[in-house]
Structure 1
């Protein structure tokens, strides 16, 4: 006779990518859907601002990125705290539920204020969903494959962004800017919510298991830290954590520039919607695909070198975009920009996981992501003001200089090797 379900032994909690492959793979799929939900906007919204709503000032048209960045940054911090207190899965599900009205607001919004409101809601959703998938993968794999795990996570997310940016460019070219591109986003949200509710399992016990055997070289990295102490360490006091946080902010500063102004720059040069869609997709596609290698290689070779080289590569790519005027030159530049970002993105997350103790790692990841996604807001303001005063190429050049300077900060401030090769 089959024993009652209550008599069956619970699944053993074990760490490792191979040991948790089914759940890890499911979370990769979920994060691809999270990325696709963001990707529905990458090609279409900048053109919607100018062509349908007639916004002439770049500072006005970039308000949706400002709203998104502020909301996502604040929610990242909250997500880490909630995940430590209530568990990872409830936070993930809440993020998908909050995303439900976003496609409707984008499709039916009669004024630009509705679009900004949609991005405020989207930022909250992305802060909860993307942050939680990051933390859950860190929980599952343990300390030895963290870079590989972050590479897979971020690759899935940004390949989702890229594929959707390409698809929405095609849909916009054939069926108009609304509603067709945003129906794709609605499908992603429904599927992501269903998978998260029905198939994703809680991973907080994996973090507790890792904490019992956590070895650290830092006297402050024990588990009994307040939220204020974790914020101070991640933002300012710890050399590696603070260097990583500022690099993340500058990275997303230039991503906000790419999201908001590149399609407008390309359209002004006479490129077709199809060409703009290719350029909008190539950057996150290269970024996403190469993270499969860069995250794993940083486990072997260390984090610092990848971060410094990636920031300098991004700066060089932005310089080429500022100087460019043709589809071919811009394609080379966005591929280079994607490669530089791939070197940085999973490595920054893995470096946070290396230093932060498992019992406050979710909070530290949330604080890092607060600074990182605050870069969207800073980028919207800086690039918008400079573009209005001096043109888009000047804004790109300014952001290129900031990106190079950020790489210099990492070179000087970050410790060479932390824990598992960081």
Structure 2
């Protein structure tokens, strides 16, 4: 029996257009798994489970963030060791029970358990699709690749949040909105199984010297501990990116749990709340189609510094507002700031990380970034319990402003023309 020969890997978006497009679709489905919850779960906690303390209500986001952060680490390590595709498939298998558990949940602990599984799913699948797209794109168009990846994911978060809110208003908080997630998981598992191909050979090609900035440079020997410390503390660009990523997802985690409840104080309809919840990831998602590619032309640092400052401004507008119009403006500004930052941070990691250690470096960055979900949920819940919902948004705005200063001081420009050396 003859096996089909493996295709010879070639770097570049055009050369890998079919596989890249499939991975964009898969990542949109990853984002949709989060979007099914965003509008509905905070309201479900209040109306069906009778939860009143914000900190306890936000435990589902904290559980999601911690498990997603841990899954990112394993996704990076295992994808370097065993390949990208097996990790992607495992992630989608873990997603299948999540919507069913949310539909049937008799207690809030079922919701928390479902979000533990969702966190594992998101860590394994999103990290793997990021690494696979970086593998395929090569160095020249890395920002564009990350812009397309993150745009697909967060546009799907927005569309699904909006659709789930509408379905909840028409048919109730359960079960109909969560049937979206079940359909997404089944579809993504099928695409990943039958059509997505392994991309680790592309990383090997880049590491060997083809289209690499320094073909003669030896592959550095770095332990997992070295990579963790470099990404977290020692390497200026990687550590600056990690803290900015954490603050980004702190804002997202806070918005996920707090914004629906804040918007409900103005007695808005579920559809209106769904629109407001969707605006933030919607602008964020679409904006990345522009910002990722623009960072390939103009560099990474200006986008990240201005983006963190813009997020602080958007949060301040939301904190100052008490109605639909002000909240909508603030959500748009917050989404624009996040769009400037999100794909660009991943491009920074791709710029600096050696291709042979790409999965682990991306994994560590995403550990820090996704711990922001838990930090945002817990911080937002505690501040809201103590001094109110608006005060929690002000705290996030202040943290974002400080993060912008850290980036301005610590991050060096990592994007170089082909043939130029990137600082170590």
Scaled by the length of structure 1, the TM-score of the pair is 0.96
Q: For residues 287-330 of structure 1, give each alpha carbon's deviation from its aligned partner in whole angstroms, at most 9, with x where no partner exists.
A: 00010000000001000110010000000000010010110111
| Aligned residue among 15, 22, 30 for 2:26 | 30
Q: For residues 381-414 of structure 1, give each alpha carbon's deviation from its aligned partner in whole angstroms, at most 9, with x where no partner exists.
A: 1111111000010000001000010010000001
Show the counterpart of 1:145.
Answer: 141
- Conserved? CA contact 1:40–1:168, under 8 Å: yes
Show the counterpart of 2:256.
Answer: 259
C-alpha distance in 1, partners of 2:416/2:219? 14
| Aligned residue among 46, 49, 55 for 1:50 | 46
Show the counterpart of 2:229.
Answer: 232
Secondary structure of the 1:13 match is coil
Show the counterpart of 2:318.
Answer: 321
C-alpha distance in 2, partners of 1:166/1:373? 23
Secondary structure of the 1:284 match is helix
1:248-327 maps to which residues of 2 (within 5 A)? Answer: 248-327=245-324
C-alpha distance in 1, partners of 2:265/2:107? 24
C-alpha distance in 1, partners of 2:26/2:370? 20
- Structure 2 unpaired stretches of 5+: none
Moved over 6 A (4+): none
Secondary structure of the 1:41 match is helix
| Aligned residue among 125, 129, 132 for 2:125 | 129
- The count of aligned residue pairs is 416
Counterparts in 2 of 1:362 and 1:420: CA distance versus 1, 3 Å: farther
C-alpha distance in 2, partners of 1:70/1:199? 31
- Conserved? CA contact 1:234–1:242, under 8 Å: yes
C-alpha distance in 1, partners of 2:136/2:127? 15
Show the counterpart of 2:398.
Answer: 401
C-alpha distance in 1, partners of 2:323/2:214? 51
The answer to whether structure 1 residue 209 and structure 2 residue 205 are counterparts is yes
- Conserved? CA contact 2:135–2:199, under 8 Å: yes
Secondary structure of the 1:59 match is helix
- Give the RMSD, CA atoms, in angstroms: 1.4
| Aligned residue among 156, 175, 178 for 1:179 | 175
Show the counterpart of 2:67.
Answer: 71
- Conserved? CA contact 2:55–2:381, under 8 Å: yes
C-alpha distance in 2, partners of 1:223/1:269? 57
| Aligned residue among 155, 167, 172 for 2:163 | 167
C-alpha distance in 1, partners of 2:64/2:243? 19
Q: For residues 214-266 of structure 1, give each alpha carbon's deviation from its aligned partner in whole angstroms, at most 9, with x where no partner exists.
A: 3359x9x9432111111111000000000000000001001111100000000
Show the counterpart of 1:386.
Answer: 383
C-alpha distance in 2, partners of 1:133/1:91? 10
- Structure 1 unpaired stretches of 5+: none
Q: For residues 38-61 of structure 1, give each alpha carbon's deviation from its aligned partner in whole angstroms, at most 9, with x where no partner exists.
A: 110010001001111111110010
Counterparts in 2 of 1:420 and 1:345: CA distance versus 1, 3 Å: farther
- Conserved? CA contact 1:148–1:295, under 8 Å: yes
1:335-354 maps to which residues of 2 (within 5 A)? Answer: 335-354=332-351
- Conserved? CA contact 2:150–2:288, under 8 Å: yes
1:190-205 maps to which residues of 2 (within 5 A)? Answer: 190-205=186-201
- Conserved? CA contact 2:94–2:120, under 8 Å: yes
- Conserved? CA contact 1:355–1:419, under 8 Å: no
C-alpha distance in 2, partners of 1:247/1:153? 19
Secondary structure of the 1:40 match is helix
- Conserved? CA contact 1:223–1:358, under 8 Å: no
- Conserved? CA contact 2:207–2:219, under 8 Å: no
The CA deviation at 1:418 is 4.1
- Conserved? CA contact 1:163–1:285, under 8 Å: yes
The CA deviation at 1:417 is 3.8
Counterparts in 2 of 1:12 and 1:26: CA distance versus 1, 3 Å: same
C-alpha distance in 2, partners of 1:144/1:418? 9
Show the counterpart of 1:414.
Answer: 411
C-alpha distance in 2, partners of 1:326/1:10? 57
- Conserved? CA contact 1:16–1:142, under 8 Å: yes
